[in-house]
Amino acid sequence: MPKFCSSCGKELEENATTCSGCGKTIVESKENTTTGTVQVNQTIVTPKHKTNGMAIAGFVISLVSLLCCGSTSFLGLIFSIVGLVSAKNYDGDGKGLAIAGIILSSLFVILFVIFMSMGILASIFESASYSTYYY
């Protein structure tokens, strides 16, 4: 008769001690039919903790974009968005870092676009002013 995990419902192997789906410890109970008592053997095992690497990478790249004058903020924004979307696969781990990365990257992208457009406009007006003096 197959056994199933009480937490996630995945079918368990015959001699498994932990569930391969959720990582929780399998509790085996043995009932003594003569006395009516139940003996439970339980070992506490913490499930393997996964890390949301995309959220961390997005936040770090967003911070590095401060040193690079905002040029890497596009990458930070992309990594942070992917980290936020994948946070549900990591039980919400990294959600705060992903949101902070999105905010920082968005701010730097906006500032980068403003400063680049101001530089282009200044270049256009400066070249236009030179052409009026010499002709």
* Per-domain boundaries in the chain: 1-46, 53-134
Q: Would you say residue 133 has pLDDT above 70? A: no
Q: Which amino acid is at 88?
A: K
Q: How many Å is the maximal CA-CA distance in the chain?
A: 112
pLDDT higher than 70, residue 58: yes
Q: How far apart are CA 7 and CA 18, in angstroms?
A: 11
DSSP-based three-state secondary structure for 39:
strand
For residue range 15-49, list pLDDT tens digits in order: 777 777 777 776 655 545 555 555 555 555 555 66
Instruction: Report the chain's C-alpha Rg in angstroms.
Output: 29
Would you mind telling me the total number of residues written for the chain in this entry?
135
Residues forming a β-bridge with 18: 25
Q: Which two tokens stand for residue 117?
A: 């457009």
pLDDT, tens digit, 9 for 90 and up, residues 75-104: 999 999 999 988 888 777 888 899 999 999
**What pTM did the predictor assign?**
0.55
